[in-house]
Amino acid sequence: MSRYSLASLVRHGLTGHRGWRPAWRHPEPKAEYDAIIVGGGGHGLASAYYLAKNHGLTNIAVLEKGWLGGGNTGRNTTIVRSNYLLDANAKFYEHGMKLWEGLSQDLNFNVMFSQRGVLNLAHSKGQLETFRRRGNAMRLNGIDAELLNGEQAAEFVPGMDVGRNVRFPVEGGLLQRRGGTARHDAVAWGYARGADQRGVDIIQNCEVTGIRRDGQGVTGVETSRGFIATKKIGLAVAGHSTQLAAMAGVRLPIESHVLQAVVSEPVKPVLDTVVTFGAAHLYVSQSDKGELVMGGDIDGYNSFAQRGNLPVIEHFTACLLALFPQFSRLRILRNWGGIMDMTMDGSPIIGTTPVPGLFLNGGWCYGGFKATPASGWVFAHTIATEQPHALNADLSLERFHTGRVLDEKGAGPYPWLH
Amino acid sequence: MILIPCPHCGPREQTEFTYGGDAGVSRPGRPEDADDAAWIEYLYLRDNPKGEHVELWQHTFGCRQWLRVRRNVVNHEIVAEEET
């Protein structure tokens, strides 16, 4: 398989761009694999990629019920950051940030990672103090964090309403300059191509309908394309982790909820960073196509419908207009919803399960996209060695049994509040 | 917008209600007798069905009563509801 480069671009240009080959194969499933990853989104493909690259395990398959990156990988707001308070989360997401920084080169695929900064705005002195605490915790973990006062925030985001005569004046914010955005589809495609080049079979339109196990552990998966034998199964199906784990008799501390996002019609460059509104919940950035990409809270009730409801959109667009009144005449172009695994403490679950040979990567709540590289990295380690990596040891399923929960927000066991 | 038929107030918009989660979980009756497994089951483990889900809603901006609602979480159809 050829590498993408300036030379290859020129060479194909001279022949009218008729020589490009598909970036990955469409193989028929084999009867047996050393390991099977269920879910062909970013996390599943990254896991397969790092299994092949870091652990030399290439007789593996990724099974996807639809098409690659067609689930939550294609339904997020593409924000990448590692501004977490708790040590376990901070170290895990920061490992991800470091992988992001070299990802395009590593994959030989442009994931368009843009470190345009992520600014969390504070609207009261008290909120700014909690941001100071989080920023200090981040810096102790070796992560960049800058506390901005009101004037610095105004300078960083020109065009934002920083007047004092508003309900929620901007008092300052916590800025992570290394944060930013990436092209979500390219992440899935880049990992798919990298995994495929190393011999991984990526099998689309193949839905897993059952998990077979015997006294020792798992023995294979039933799929819409027949039975496939394996001794190791990695689930990377966030949104439906409950359903897949149930096939092996495992109950999870997860509820599924719908999270919405919208994009506006495209306009010329107006916003060159990611801004979050702290008095309610909004995150907004501008895509390379010029659309404003934004989202807010989950709808707040159990849902498996990949569409949401207007009250949440009304809420976060109100936040947007509070910050940027000049956007009031923009129209919404598209809206969509994705199904989130909401865990009982708001942190993800990556690790082993009570069933030998069954591994779980899920519970991403609504922070899964930024974790894609780190998630794949540690999940590959977990599957290959059957032990968690140091970075996901605390993200285990057992933490709900031992009481070592990672409640970043302090919301308690109410998934709809995380 | 989900319309929730409140038995006291009639069909009302979801924004008048506060979600209370899975109605199938109940706090161990005698906490001193409950073991860790019972607490974990109550606090953390959920069936999370992809289909009909029995859940609690409080009509916060109405009669303030708690309702037990059976709702299909795939198409949001409300199958049955009753006062708790």
| Beta partners for residue A256, in sequence order | A341
Q: How many CB atoms lie within 10 A of CB A401?
A: 14
Q: Are B48 and A302 an interchain contact pair (Cβ–Cβ within 8 Å)?
A: yes
pLDDT of the residue at A30: 97
* Chain B environment of A253 (Cβ under 8 Å): 44-46
Q: What burial letters (b/e) apply to A280-314, b meaning 16+ CB within 10 Å?
A: eebbbbbbeeebbbbbbbbbbbbbbbbebbeebbe
d(Cα A373, Cα A53) in Å, to the nearest integer?
13
For residue B2, give the nearest of A309, A401, A415 by CB distance: A309
pLDDT of the residue at B47: 96
pLDDT of the residue at B80: 80
pLDDT of the residue at A82: 97
* Chain A environment of B55 (Cβ under 8 Å): 301-302
Structure tokens at A71: 């689930």
- Residue B11 predicted with pLDDT over 80: yes
pLDDT of the residue at A1: 59
Short-list A248, A264, A245, CA closest to A256: A245
For residue B21, give the nearest of A251, A310, A416 by CB distance: A416
d(Cα A67, Cα A69) in Å, to the nearest integer?
6
Measured between CA atoms, the residue of chain B closest to residue A246 is B47
B60 CB burial (10 A radius; 0-12, 13-18, 19+): middle
Task: Name the minimum distance, in Å, from the CA of B30 to any CA of chain A.
Answer: 20
Enumerate chain A positions whose Cβ falls within 8 A of a Cβ in B. Answer: 240, 242-243, 251-256, 300-305, 309-311, 344, 400-401, 413-416
Q: Are B48 and A344 an interchain contact pair (Cβ–Cβ within 8 Å)?
A: no
d(Cα B47, Cα B25) in Å, to the nearest integer?
10
Q: Are B36 and A401 an interchain contact pair (Cβ–Cβ within 8 Å)?
A: yes
Structure tokens at A277: 């509104």
d(Cα B41, Cα B49) in Å, to the nearest integer?
16
Fold designation for A22-82+84-109+183-254+345-417: FAD/NAD(P)-binding domain (3.50.50)
Enumerate chain B positions whose Cβ falls within 8 A of a Cβ in A. Answer: 1-2, 14-15, 19, 21-22, 36, 40, 43-48, 50, 53, 55, 71, 73-76
d(Cα A261, Cα A293) in Å, to the nearest integer?
7
* Chain B environment of A311 (Cβ under 8 Å): 1, 14-15
Rounded to a whole number, what is the largest CA-CA distance in chain B? 43
**Residue A142 per-residue DSSP state:** T
CA–centroid distance for B41 within its chain: 17
d(Cα A368, Cα A382) in Å, to the nearest integer?
18
Q: Are A240 and B50 an interchain contact pair (Cβ–Cβ within 8 Å)?
A: yes
Q: What is each CA distance from A286 to A69, A332, A414, in whole angstroms?
A: 21, 13, 32
Interface A-B, measured as beta-carbon pairs within 8 A, has a size of 67
In which residue ranges of chain A is pLDDT below 50? Answer: none
Q: Are A311 and B14 an interchain contact pair (Cβ–Cβ within 8 Å)?
A: yes
Structure tokens at A377: 């990295």
For residue A300, give the nearest of B19, B50, B76 by CB distance: B19
Task: Give the class (CATH, top level) of A118-178+256-339.
Answer: alpha beta
Q: Residue A365: which residues within 8 A CB-CB, separation 6 or more?
A: A340, A341, A342, A343, A346, A347, A348, A418
Render pLDDT for A311-354 as a digit per residue (tens, 0 to 9).
999 999 999 999 999 999 999 999 999 999 999 999 999 999 99
ipTM over 0.90: yes
Q: What are phi and psi of A260, to 5 degrees?
A: -105, 160
* Chain B environment of A365 (Cβ under 8 Å): none
Q: Which residue bears the tokens 């994009």?
A: A263
Residue to test with chain B: of A65, A250, A252, A304, most B Cβ within 10 A? A304
Task: Name the minimum distance, in Å, from the CA of B1 to any CA of chain A.
Answer: 6
Mean pLDDT value across residues B71-77 = 94
Measured between CA atoms, the residue of chain A closest to residue B54 is A302
Q: Which CATH architecture has domain B3-25+37-83?
A: 2-Layer Sandwich (3.30)
The residues spanned by each domain of chain B are 3-25+37-83
pLDDT of the residue at B79: 86
Render pLDDT for B21-52 as a digit per residue (tens, 0 to 9).
999 999 998 989 999 999 999 999 999 999 99
pLDDT of the residue at A222: 98
pLDDT of the residue at A62: 98
Task: Name the minimum distance, in Å, from the CA of A348 to any CA of chain B.
Answer: 14
d(Cα A253, Cα A402) in Å, to the nearest integer?
13
Q: Which residue bears the tokens 């040979």?
A: A357
Q: Are A310 and B15 an interchain contact pair (Cβ–Cβ within 8 Å)?
A: no
The residues spanned by each domain of chain A are 22-82+84-109+183-254+345-417, 118-178+256-339
